């Protein structure tokens, strides 16, 4: 089976590198930040080390797009719950 996904960068230029159809791509990750850097070689034939999947969060900080972000009457907001423009 061809490698697909994040693996430790076998070229050791970055922490992780994305592989697609068994080939290294330019997509890399260091300290959780994605960027691009072309691989030094288009092919890789050695073993690859899997990247541990991140622990799933509890999603307590997620809100639906149709949920209000602040309750009506919150200081700094007008009576409609929208930010006032400050004209008096």
pLDDT, one tens digit per residue, over 11-68 is: 999 999 999 999 999 999 999 999 999 999 888 888 999 998 766 667 776 777 777 7
Given this model, what pLDDT does residue 32 score? 92
Does residue 57 form part of some domain? no
15: how many CB neighbours lie within 10 A of its CB? 15
Cα 66 to chain centroid distance, Å, stands at 23
Coil/strand/helix, residue 52: coil
**Is residue 3 in some structural domain?**
yes
Longest dimension (CA), the chain: 70
Number of domains in the chain: 1
**23 is in which domain, residue-wise?**
1-52
């Amino acid at each position: 089976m061809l490698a697909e996904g994040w693996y430790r960068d076998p070229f050791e230029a970055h922490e992780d590198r994305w592989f697609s159809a068994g080939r290294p791509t330019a997509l890399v990750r260091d300290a959780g930040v994605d960027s691009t850097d072309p691989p030094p070689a288009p092919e890789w034939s050695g073993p690859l080390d899997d990247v541990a999947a991140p622990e799933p969060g509890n999603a307590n900080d997620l809100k639906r797009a149709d949920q209000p972000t602040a309750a009506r009457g919150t200081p700094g907001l007008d009576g409609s719950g929208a930010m006032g423009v400050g004209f008096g």
